[in-house]
Structure 1
Amino acid sequence: MRVPVDWLREYVAVPADATGAQIAADLVRVGLEEEGLHTGGVTGPLVVGRVLTREPEPQKNGKTINWCTVDVGDANGTGEPQGIVCGAHNFDVGDLVVVILPGGVLQTPQGPLEVSARKTYGHVSAGMICSERELGIGDDHDGILVLTRRFAGDDETLARLEPGTDAIPLLGLDRETVEINVTPDRGYCFSIRGVAREYSHSTGAEFTDPALDLAARAPAATEGGFPVTLADDAPIRGHDGCDRYVARIVRGIDVTAPTPRWMATRLTEAGMRPISLPVDVTNYVMLGLGQPLHAFDVSTLRDGITVRRARAGERITTLDDVDRALDTEDLLITDSGGERALAIAGVMGGADTEVGPETTDVLIEAAHFDAVSIARSARRHKLPSEASRRFERGVDPQLAAAAAQLAVDLLVKHGGGVADDEVTDVGSPAPMAPVAMDLGFPTRIVGVEYPADEVVSILESIGCEVSRDGEVLTVVPPSWRPDLTTAEDLVEEVARIDGYDRIPSVLPTPPGGAGLTHAQRVRRVVANTLAGQGLSEVWSAPFVAEERYAALGLDVPAELARSVRLANPLSDEQPLMRTRLLATLVDSVRRNVSRGARDVGLFEIGLVVDLKGEQQAAPTEDVGVRPSDEVLAAITAAVPAQPRHVAFALAGERDRAGWWGGGRGADVTDVIELARVLGEALAVRVTTVTDSVAPFHPGRCARVALDDGTVVGHVGELHPKVVAALGLPARTVAGELDLDLLTTAAEGAVQAQTLATFPVAQSDVALVVDEAVTAAEVESALRSGAGESLESVTLFDVYRGDQLDAGKKSLAYRLAFRSADRTLTTDEVSALRDAAVAEAGRRSGAVQR
């Protein structure tokens, strides 16, 4: 919201010497956010000049330029006339014009333009004679700004216009505009009226509410007013779409009459472009009071207006010439029969009833619409209009008559119209709901002592009606504050008006003895371990397209059955929640490689969605009220499982090449190692067994499992077709593990043990097994058979050759035994080794070589 300082002074007694920066600081003190401070944007010497000579010079390109000499007084430092080339022709010798001299800067849409003396068309042009658009005070660019015409009839101003006079204050280019950010709960500040009220709260300056006088002058409703029917048969959340509608008619308007310059200036400073008198008047009232208005051409209306919800299949062409399909939740302004849509209420008018050059009679609509209805329609149709921004934040329902009266006054005065005596004012807004609050509540919540009288005084100062019964206050918020619905809202107002700077800054003392949870510690260990292995952590958005499942070589129907489809996705191209981290991690790999990273190692820890069964719709409840236990249980039941996973990917070289020798590309053994390293860091023993699952290469994939056989994930080299489909480097390897399963397995896994001081005894054994038997299976059998004295098993050799039958291989293991209470004898070690070999033979068919 842009607030011109001069306009603000009409509503509140801003000191004459107050600057825009000081006003912004005062507004920040009561919780408004400053966005910026704007002025005319012209710097440097901008002066009044009198044209002394004007010599037209035709050019070879068919254009005629004027070589002029202009008297700029002593502004150029010499007193000599200034030679300037000008392409406009709407001025003559003797006219007073606006001249920017070398060194001055104009603000253009392309950025700042510094004016300098330069040679052009055979002359040295020392400056510019400016148009309204170049000065940023209007849209006229057909000719230059001639001051003798602009101030025609203002003899006092013309009398003091001398060559060399500073034109910046003359044209209001030194006027300041404060820009603030209006939060959703402070919709009343989307007006000069609301901001002036806040400035008064901050500084104590006297505030004059213009709506009071306007409301007092507004005539009461009559029986002969323009017929309006409120017929909302489908209220949202029980709130009628329109609970008040004021209509006033002004006849005989000259719509071609110019908008008063002061009004056009204020609209421009507030960030709106002047268009025509009726439109400018409605915008001016909206900016000033906060009540959006709409102007209808009376000749295009039938016998009356009906406000209702849209019907299925209904359409409307709005003022932007877009044909729109309407939703049954859209609130419409229609003709008396309800058959023709005239406007999307509170959002945008229809093209059929637009005020045009032939319009003479105008109906002014000042209505109060339901905030939720307008917000939904504006978002549904992607029409964030100035009106909808105000309605969706809550407009004062008592303001309609005053706003309509101001619009009528301006149209009569500047458009030459005559106001009808008949007035329409239908509907009855619900009164503001009272809020009960304990007098000591602000002190308990904020931590600052607020005396009872001060609490009452602050609430009354913001417009509340306060009654006291012992230690309990009953507070009725003002009509312009629909955000005040709870005691906590009132506490915020007390703290805000009293001053946030009074609230002490106290560093909270964290309770001791809690620390991180087991799951948090596991995540930190995993992240630190992978970072220690040279990988970088990334985050990727959890949204995917159906095509990603196909690119990964997955079973698309099965993945879709597990996927949650978003009802309102950020991107229509990615409407699904990911079921695995690799579906999005590969994007990070590709992006890094495309930007020049040759060797990439990335990992991500995040949630995935695993939908089991049909996707359930969660029930909804109104905000501000705690849902029942049954509703909370239904919401919880509708939320699918969201396990936490860790995924990693490697591409390029794992061991870098250099002067020390050649490098080594990342391969499947590297991701197997990462899985084993994570298990060791968490004190969880994991095993890897050959497997074949998408999206991995069928011969270079391993299943990662716990001792009890629980599968926690897979690692391997991505399938060549997957690599090609995703644009990844060749031989990219990756893996994904269920971190929740690892977290559970790691709980209590670390047990303190007394270090054995007795010597270790080692025994080697070579076992011949079928080619299909994995080393992990044999190792598991050896561990099971060797008993508790076995300290470690290490595979140190694999042999395939002529000394073995076809389809056989020899696995050589080193078994290390140690007892905690004695030195093992040779016979004991041999017996333990034989037991281990026997178990391996029983479970895997191993034969000692």
Structure 2
Amino acid sequence: MPLIVKDWLADHVELPAGLTAEQLAADLVKVGLEEEAIHGAAVTGPLVVGRVLEMTPEPQKNGKTINWCRVDVGPEHNDEEGARGIVCGAHNFGVGDLVAVSLPGTVLPGPFPIAARKTYGHVSDGMICSVRELGIGEDHDGILVLTRHGFAAEDLTPGQDAIALLGLGEEVLEINVTPDRGYAFSYRGVAREYSHSTGAKFTDNGLVTGTEPAATADGFEVRVQDDAPINGAVGCDRFVTRIVRNIDPSAPTPAWMKHRLEGSGMRSISLAVDITNYVMLDLGQPLHAYDLAQVSAPIVVRRAVAGEHLTTLDDVDRTLHTEDLLITDSPEGAGSRVLGLAGVMGGASSEVGPTTTDVLVEAAHFDQITVARTSRRHKLSSEAAKRFERGVDPLLPAVAAQRVVDLLVELGGGMADPAVSDLDETGAPAPIALKVTEPTRLSGVEYTPEQVRSTLEEIGAGVEPAGEGVLTVTPPSWRPDLTEPADLVEEVVRIQGYDQIPSVLPAATGGRGLTAEQRTRRSVARALAEAGFVETLSYPFVGTSEYDALGLPDDDARRVSLRLVNPMADDKPLMRSNLLVTLLDTVRRNVSRGLTDLAVYEIGLVTCPVPGAPAAPALPGGVRPTDEQLAALAAAVPDQPRRVAGVLTGKRELVGWWGGGRAAGWEDALAAARLVAERAGVDVVVSGDAERMPWHPGRCARLELADGTVVGHAGELHPKVVEALGLPARAAAFEVDLTVLVGAASGEPVSATPVSAFPAAKEDFAFVVDGGVPAEAVRSAIVAGAGDLLEDVALFDVFTGSQVGEGKKSLAYSLRLRAADRTLSAKEVRAVRDAVVESASAKVGAVLRG
């Protein structure tokens, strides 16, 4: 995001005295440029200019030689002998040099407080600073000698405030620029917005004045050979070149320019490169400087050929794509030499070096989509790419190139070559017809026709009447985002003030409440929370290692996952096909941090692609896809059902004065899964013979609809999964398909069950069954036998031992019976009891325990 140095902004717009970064941020946010951060002063305390009076080398036993210096830091800071003693280990300065000295009480970036301290047999009463220690560069080879960094000796006095001199006491505002407002990536653009917000006088330093030299016949030849334009737009429609000769390669970047560049987040490199960066930040036009001796005419702008490579300025060898737009210096296909990725980054072969004396300046205008795709394809987000992909003023190249030439002549001692090349195929922005009532209609705020007209003229648009109540608006060249009436309406609303728009809550249309699925989702979430579960959210991105940790077989359908083309993390390129895979990662992270007693759940979408399904078509940009293309896109979108999953570890009931607590188990996971189905209004059948990773065989229940459709699983996790994830032993989990449950619900309103005023009859049963018979099967048999009089049934005891026989178990159930219209007689209760015993015997072979 752009960093704004106030004194640089003042070159374009009048700023009031004493303007703070906070007030600047408040003014800019009114017109949509949000504050990202305010960066405080880099250095605080007494940082002053010092003159080295004495410098005595002192070899040390460790082989290092330090310098004992006496430095004049001004009368108000010197000791009785007119100087301060400072120990310094650097050797790139000498007696008489003017340096930056941090006195005790100074705080350097880090933070690094300075104090007087004894070292190497002396009391060092301060520190002579390097560029890196001051936070204004990366050079740590030696001390910052001010006269070697663009400061004139006659302008420096010992004791002078070096914080103000180096610009280290200023606050810098960082702003957030939306993708459609690329012009705000420049001081020119931000100043314009400040003027819109406050009415301050704005001077546009980026306008074409007519003094820019026209193209000459002997200009450095440029050709554009783009045979593969994207969306019909040629990759380059403007290319200006200028030449400056006999530049002094040792000429330093002046201190004022370094200060502005570094305050704006760019480090100083060399004079020629610094000037191109400075003009880019100032006006918004990216530029590039070539060593003229390393470039051969003509320059050719073309698409890459398959198999081509380029080593960019960051020393990375890149394999090029046929959509990449290149700058080359030969017209012949793959045999030409590639100089750079157009609009993104130059190549290393032609960069300006320490011996460069003749410079070729490039100022071009490239297609936004081409640059954006190249930048993302090569994961190379340069300052130039950030601007080109958002849109750059096509009228700027000649103005910016002239500015670079002027600065190279002024600061580098160069001479401007009269040869000029300007390949210009740009067109004027398309006019837009706008009804003067449209801003009022869309915003609800009354704007007069004069307000609409004056606001559009204020942003730089040309406005002409075109009939009754209609204006023809020609957007300014620096606003490629203005293409339709709604864009112009947004500008009127933005400049007039978003705060004028009233906050009105629209009236809800009758009968337009939540959908059945939304109501069910909220009900399920509320029920699980009431049952003691905590809701979590996780990213839906996974890798094969997560599936491995769950022990999924190689042929498991859940391993078929949608692979992302541009994943957020290389180790998680897949979209999850089940919910437990990411929920368990959340549990693992919590357990690793000491939280072992957990009950968490998540409601989220999973992606279930079908193997062999057609791939999504590549849709064109800038135009509406056809109905056939949209239909093909919809057909390629995989199914994305909504699931509910939960995990329990450690204690379900905590240890306390009330007792020893209770560990979470498979029954808690099954109860939670049943609760989800209950809140969805669906009856499910539970089968206890399921085998499905990541659950433990024999301790996993399958939940089905009456027609046999599987809706989920619940139970204890497999020991290998528990071990792989580092979870507490006997952890349990469930996962239920909420989309299937919602689809299976009747949709009929739930009728309240009348509350009986008659007393209940209670009966307890203890059945002996084979050890492999699920408790749920016994419960189902009891329900079937009890009939309509059954109000509730609950398992309250499980017993195994010699008393019930080898391989047997005793399951004890409590039944509550009640009639709505009468008190049950003993005969009726006995009939129900007999029916329950008969049903349990017939269905699961249960024997009533004596």
Structure-1-length-normalised TM-score: 0.88
Aligned residue for 2:713? Answer: 714
Where do 1:451-462 residues align within 5 Å? 451-462=448-459
In 2, distance between residues paired with 1:154 and 1:51?
A: 13
**1:184 match: secondary structure:** coil
Aligned residue for 1:605? Answer: 603
**By how many angstroms is 1:484 displaced?**
1.2
* Post-superposition CA distance 1:110-147 (Å, at most 9, x none): x1332222223333332334455544566666665566
In 1, distance between residues paired with 2:267 and 2:771?
A: 82
Aligned residue for 2:184? Answer: 189
Where do 1:364-763 residues align within 5 Å? 364-468=361-465, 469-506=467-504, 514-559=512-557, 562-621=560-619, 627-681=625-679, 684-695=682-693, 696-743=695-742, 744-745=744-745, 747-748=747-748, 750-757=750-757
**By how many angstroms is 1:839 displaced?**
6.9
Q: 1:62 to 1:750 in 2, by over 3 A?
A: same
Deviates more, 1:682-691 or 1:807-816: 807-816
Q: 1:575 to 1:227 in 2, by over 3 A?
A: same
1:113 aligns with 2:130: no
**Which of 91, 101, 104 matches 1:102?**
104
Where do 1:210-225 residues align within 5 Å? 210-212=205-207, 215-225=209-219
Q: Which amino acid aligns with 2:528?
A: L
**By how many angstroms is 1:426 displaced?**
1.6
In 2, distance between residues paired with 1:767 and 1:664?
A: 25
**1:422 match: secondary structure:** strand
**1:212 match: secondary structure:** coil
Q: 1:620 to 1:470 in 2, by over 3 A?
A: farther
**By how many angstroms is 1:635 displaced?**
2.9
Deviates more, 1:376-385 or 1:772-781: 772-781
Aligned residue for 1:33? Answer: 34
- Whether the 8 Å contact between 2:279 and 2:400 is mirrored in structure 1 is yes
Aligned residue for 2:325? Answer: 331
Aligned residue for 1:12? Answer: 13
Q: 1:798 to 1:211 in 2, by over 3 A?
A: closer
Aligned residue for 1:361? Answer: 358
* Post-superposition CA distance 1:426-460 (Å, at most 9, x none): 24123312222221121222222211111111101
Aligned residue for 1:238? Answer: 232
- Whether the 8 Å contact between 1:14 and 1:205 is mirrored in structure 2 is yes
Q: Which amino acid aligns with 1:41?
A: A
**By how many angstroms is 1:592 displaced?**
2.0
Q: 1:486 to 1:620 in 2, by over 3 A?
A: farther
**By how many angstroms is 1:368 displaced?**
0.6
Where do 1:64-213 residues align within 5 Å? 64-76=65-77, 81-87=82-88, 98-105=100-107, 107-108=108-109, 111-131=110-130, 134-136=133-135, 144=143, 157=155, 161=157, 163-174=158-169, 177-212=172-207
In 1, distance between residues paired with 2:144 and 2:796?
A: 93
**By how many angstroms is 1:518 displaced?**
3.0
Deviates more, 1:651-660 or 1:245-254: 651-660
**1:210 match: secondary structure:** coil
Q: 1:724 to 1:775 in 2, by over 3 A?
A: closer
- Whether the 8 Å contact between 2:51 and 2:72 is mirrored in structure 1 is yes
Deviates more, 1:723-732 or 1:387-396: 723-732
Q: 1:96 to 1:711 in 2, by over 3 A?
A: closer
1:351 aligns with 2:348: yes
- Whether the 8 Å contact between 1:83 and 1:124 is mirrored in structure 2 is no
- Whether the 8 Å contact between 1:73 and 1:79 is mirrored in structure 2 is no
**By how many angstroms is 1:656 displaced?**
3.5
**2:583 match: secondary structure:** helix
Q: Which amino acid aligns with 1:347?
A: V
Identity %: 60
- Whether the 8 Å contact between 1:32 and 1:181 is mirrored in structure 2 is yes
Q: Which amino acid aligns with 2:515?
A: T
- Whether the 8 Å contact between 2:558 and 2:577 is mirrored in structure 1 is no
- Whether the 8 Å contact between 1:40 and 1:173 is mirrored in structure 2 is yes
* Post-superposition CA distance 1:322-349 (Å, at most 9, x none): 2111111111111222422111111111
In 2, distance between residues paired with 1:563 and 1:730?
A: 29
* Post-superposition CA distance 1:665-703 (Å, at most 9, x none): 333223233334445555544342221221222222222
**By how many angstroms is 1:390 displaced?**
1.0
Q: 1:65 to 1:301 in 2, by over 3 A?
A: closer
- Whether the 8 Å contact between 1:72 and 1:79 is mirrored in structure 2 is no
- Whether the 8 Å contact between 2:607 and 2:638 is mirrored in structure 1 is yes
**By how many angstroms is 1:643 displaced?**
1.8
**1:194 match: secondary structure:** helix
- Whether the 8 Å contact between 2:287 and 2:363 is mirrored in structure 1 is yes
- Whether the 8 Å contact between 1:230 and 1:427 is mirrored in structure 2 is no
Q: Which runs of 5+ in 1 are unaligned?
A: none
* Post-superposition CA distance 1:173-203 (Å, at most 9, x none): 4556443232212111111221222222223
Q: Which amino acid aligns with 1:118?
A: R
Q: 1:833 to 1:625 in 2, by over 3 A?
A: farther
**By how many angstroms is 1:765 displaced?**
8.3
Q: Which runs of 5+ in 2 are unaligned?
A: none
Aligned residue for 2:272? Answer: 278
Q: 1:680 to 1:343 in 2, by over 3 A?
A: closer
- Whether the 8 Å contact between 2:151 and 2:254 is mirrored in structure 1 is no
**By how many angstroms is 1:19 displaced?**
4.5
Deviates more, 1:374-383 or 1:129-138: 129-138
- Whether the 8 Å contact between 1:684 and 1:749 is mirrored in structure 2 is no
Deviates more, 1:130-139 or 1:347-356: 130-139
- CA-atom RMSD, angstroms? 3.7
* Post-superposition CA distance 1:780-825 (Å, at most 9, x none): 4665566545555667888999999999989887877655556667
* Post-superposition CA distance 1:751-771 (Å, at most 9, x none): 223344556677888989877
Q: Which amino acid aligns with 1:376?
A: R
**By how many angstroms is 1:272 displaced?**
1.7
In 2, distance between residues paired with 1:761 and 1:151?
A: 99
Deviates more, 1:418-427 or 1:485-494: 418-427
Q: 1:810 to 1:585 in 2, by over 3 A?
A: closer
In 2, distance between residues paired with 1:392 and 1:98?
A: 41
In 2, distance between residues paired with 1:95 and 1:247?
A: 41
Deviates more, 1:136-145 or 1:199-208: 136-145
- Whether the 8 Å contact between 1:40 and 1:175 is mirrored in structure 2 is yes
**Which of 314, 317, 324 matches 2:311?**
317
- Whether the 8 Å contact between 1:82 and 1:126 is mirrored in structure 2 is no
Q: Which amino acid aligns with 1:565?
A: R
* Post-superposition CA distance 1:31-55 (Å, at most 9, x none): 2123445576333233445555555
In 1, distance between residues paired with 2:699 and 2:396?
A: 74
- Whether the 8 Å contact between 1:546 and 1:560 is mirrored in structure 2 is no
In 1, distance between residues paired with 2:779 and 2:552?
A: 32
Q: Which amino acid aligns with 1:331?
A: L
- Whether the 8 Å contact between 2:87 and 2:122 is mirrored in structure 1 is no
**By how many angstroms is 1:256 displaced?**
2.7
